Amino acid sequence: MEKETERRYQEWLENELYDADLKKELEAIKGNDEKINDAFYRDLEFGTGGLRGVIGAGTNRMNVMTVAKASQGYSEYLNKNFENPSVAIAHDSRIKSDLFSETAASVFAANGIKVHMYPTLMPTPSLSFAVRHLGCSGGIVVTASHNPAKYNGYKVYGPDGCQITTKAAEAIQKAINGIDIFHGIKRIDFKAGLESGAISWIGDETVNAFIDAVSNESLLKDNDGDKNLSIVYTPLNGAGLKCVTTCLKKNGYTNISVVKEQENPDGNFPTCPYPNPEIREALELGLRDAAAKQSDILIATDPDSDRVGIAVRNSEGGYALLSGNETGVLLLDWIAKRRIELGQMPEKPVAVKTIVTTDMASRIAARYGIEMREVLTGFKYIGEQIGLLEKDGEANRYILGFEESYGYLTGSYVRDKDAVDGAMMIADMTAYYRKRGKSLLEVLDSLYKEYGYFYNTLYSYEFDGEEGFQKMKAMTKKMREEAPDKWNGSPIIVKNDYLNSVSTDKDGNKTKIELPVSDVMKFMTESGISVVVRPSGTEPKLKIYFSIRADNKEKAAQEEKALKAEVEAFLGI
Does residue 145 have an active-site annotation? yes
From residue 30, how far is each of 6, 9, 25, 44 by CA, in Å?
A: 11, 9, 9, 21
- DSSP for residue 323: P
What single string gives the DSSP state of each residue in 528-556? Answer: S-EEEEEE-SSSSEEEEEEEEEESSHHHH
Query: Cβ distance 325 to 299 under 8 Å?
Result: no
Which residues have C-beta within 8 Å of that of residue 385, sequence separation ≥ 6?
350, 352, 373, 375, 398, 401
Q: What secondary structure, in 3-state letters, does 39-56 show?
A: HHCCCCCCECCEEEEEEC
Residue 369's identity, in one-letter code, is G
H/E element, 522: strand 521-525
H/E element, 496: strand 490-497
Cα gap 59→42, rounded to integer Å: 6
Cα gap 65→509, rounded to integer Å: 50
For residue 559, the tally of other CB atoms under 10 A from its CB is 20
Active-site entry in 86, 128, 145, 439: 145
Q: If DSSP codes are grouped into helix, strand and coil, which group holds residue 407?
A: strand
Cα gap 110→139, rounded to integer Å: 16
Chain centroid to Cα 199, Å, comes to 28
Q: Which of 189, 228, 204 is nearest to 434 (CA)?
A: 228
Give the strand pairing for 371-375 and 350-354. parallel
User: What's the chain's Rg over C-alpha atoms?
Assistant: 24
Just list the catalytic residues: 145
